[in-house]
Structure 1
Amino acid sequence: MPLLPLLIVAVVLLAMSLRIAQEYQRAIVFRLGRYTGTRGPGLYWLIPILERQQTIDMRTKTVELEQQETITKDSVTIKVNAVLWFKVINPADAVIKVADYNKAVYQLSVTALRNIIGQNQLDEVLRERAHINGALLQIVDAATETWGVKIELVEIKDVEIPESMQRAMAREAEAIREKRARIIKAEAELEASIKLTQGAQEMEKSPYSLELRRMQMLSEIGIDNNTTTVIMLPSDFSAAAKSFSQMVTSQTATPKE
């Protein structure tokens, strides 16, 4: 009979010492304050009273960095927020080497975001987000490696600029579009003038081509509902009429004998 209470106590202690870690969890075990190993996933047991554990989630975490007001390299005040994805790859370092790795990663990311924005001009922040994201990822990942944390991705979510700067950028964009339109128009006029010059040179080689072109112009004019029709006579007709007029005038002026 005296063995029954001892058996019951042993069973209770054994049940109390059993632990279960999920597939995405790891248990950091300390025995009398010293790190003894990482347990899990699955079933494991701890020595009652002598050992304690701290469970770490190994899944990827998503953290939204609060909006930061910072100044770019060209002295423009903007507001930027970003999203961070990270996970623990070494649970022992995440527990032993840093007091709160979640808070540490967050504060480091915010500081790095402000610093990297200050190293770039506003145009670079707006156009080269991929480059800035990559640089920010390298900075944060290098610092968190000793904590057993892997930074998987950093993305700038939104960039808010002052209204006065928005109006200035809109005017600049409009001026650029107007400049591009004028350049395109000038290039088109230059190309058209070159083509017209080439066409005139070809017509000059053949009088028949010139006359055919005049007839084509007359047919094009006739298509429109115009009240006035301009008839262009060939140059030979004009020369012949002028010669005939001069001959008639000379004969009229000659006195009769």
Structure 2
Amino acid sequence: MPGIGFLGALVIAVIFIATNVIKVLREYQRGVIFTLGRVGKKASGPGLILLIPLVQEMRKVDMRTLVHDVPTQDVISQDNVSVKVNAVIYYRVVDAVRAIVQVENFMAATSQLAQTTLRSVLGKHDLDEMLQERDKLNKDIQEILDTQTEAWGIKVSNVEIKHVDVDQSMIRAIARQAEAERERRSKIIIAEGEQQAAAKLSEAASILATTPGAMELRYLNSLQDIAGDRTNTIVFPFSMADVSKALRGDNF
């Protein structure tokens, strides 16, 4: 019986050592070791870590890139349009010691900061900018987050706005605006075409006015075009000068 008690104590001691003394960190993990409450300047790992029982304590930190889905936020744009926006952020821990010591929960802190920054940045822009300039907005949000989280040992590498949901009534208004814009461009193109045609006609009239025989050649070309058409009606063009002579009874 005494041998069984000793064996049991030995098993308990081995289990205690295995769980509290010997630690193994994977390649993407680092360990922040506290010795009597004080932390070293650098994190330990990866590999085998030996701790002093009751003296040292270790916190594991994942150094891989983390992906966080920012919940949908209600945003009022600069032109007073209510939209719902959500995004995704990519970040990683670059300093495990600061990530543990400087903030209570760096994941929760980064999430809350991302939500407030998303509302703050998008609220300074119009709806058209949210829909058309996402790359610029993504970069602005990423830079602000990266500056704020640097003190926590966090590096925000990328921010992507996923959805900008607009109310149905606003979607219809945007559609009407786009239709009006297309109609405006169409009218401008037609007006520019008329302007160019008028300029060319004025140029052609100036050239014909300087050459008396050119008008007669144009008459003959017109007759040739009419003769090529399948019609019984022939329209012969006369100049205004010839019409005036005919009305006065003069000979052509």
Q: Give the TM-score range, shorter chain.
A: 0.7 to 0.9
CA deviations on 1:133-161 (whole Å, 9 max, x unpaired) are 22212222222111111111112111111
CA–CA distance in 2 between the matches of 1:55 and 1:63? 19
Give the corresponding residue for 1:138. 143
Answer yes or no: is the 8 Å Cα contact 1:211–1:234 preserved in 2.
Answer: no
How far is 1:118 from its partner?
A: 1.9
Q: C-alpha deviations, 1:189-238, integer Å up to 9, x for none?
A: 11111111111121122222111111211222233333422233689998
SS state at 1:63 partner:
strand
1:18 maps to 22
Which of residues 193, 197, 206 in structure 1 aligns to 2:198?
193
Aligned ranges 1:1-257 → 2 under 5 Å: 12=14, 17-36=21-40, 37-232=42-237, 243=250
User: Among the aligned pairs, what percent are the same residue?
Assistant: 38
**Cα distance change of structure 1 residues 225 and 143 upon mapping to structure 2, 3 Å threshold:** same
Partners of 2:242 and 2:36 in 1: how far apart?
122
Inter-CA distance 121–237: structure 2 relative to 1 (3 Å threshold): closer
> How far did 1:114 drift?
1.1
Is the contact made by 1:81 and 1:159 (CA closer than 8 Å) also made in structure 2?
A: yes
Q: Distance in 2 between matches of 1:244 and 1:216?
A: 24
Name the CA shift for 1:88/1:212 in 2 (closer, same or farther; >3 Å): same
Change (3 A) 1:51 1:218: same
Deviations 1:38-78 (A, max 9, x none): 21122332223432211111111111111111211222110
> TM-score if structure 1 supplies the norm length?
0.81
The DSSP-based 3-state class of the residue aligned with 2:89 is: strand
Query: Retained in 2: the 8 A contact 1:72–1:122?
Result: yes
Shift, 1:108, TM fit: 0.8
Residue type of the alignment partner of 2:50: W
* Structure 1 residue 14: Cα displacement: 7.0
- Matches of 2:168 and 2:231, distance apart in 1: 54
Unaligned runs of 5+ in 1: 246-257
Cα 1:233–1:34 change in 2 (3 A) is closer
Q: 1:39 aligns to what SS in structure 2? A: coil
The RMSD of aligned alpha carbons is 2.8
CA distance in 1, matches of 2:117, 2:239: 81
State the distance in 2 between where 1:203 and 1:20 align: 97
Farther off after superposition, 92-101 or 201-210? 201-210
Q: Which 5+ residue runs of structure 2 have no aligned equivalent?
A: 1-6
Kindly tell me the number of residue pairs found equivalent between the two proteins.
238
Residue 185 of structure 1 deviates from its aligned partner by 1.1
Compare CA radii of gyration and give the structure with the larger one.
1
229-238 vs 156-165, which deviates more?
229-238
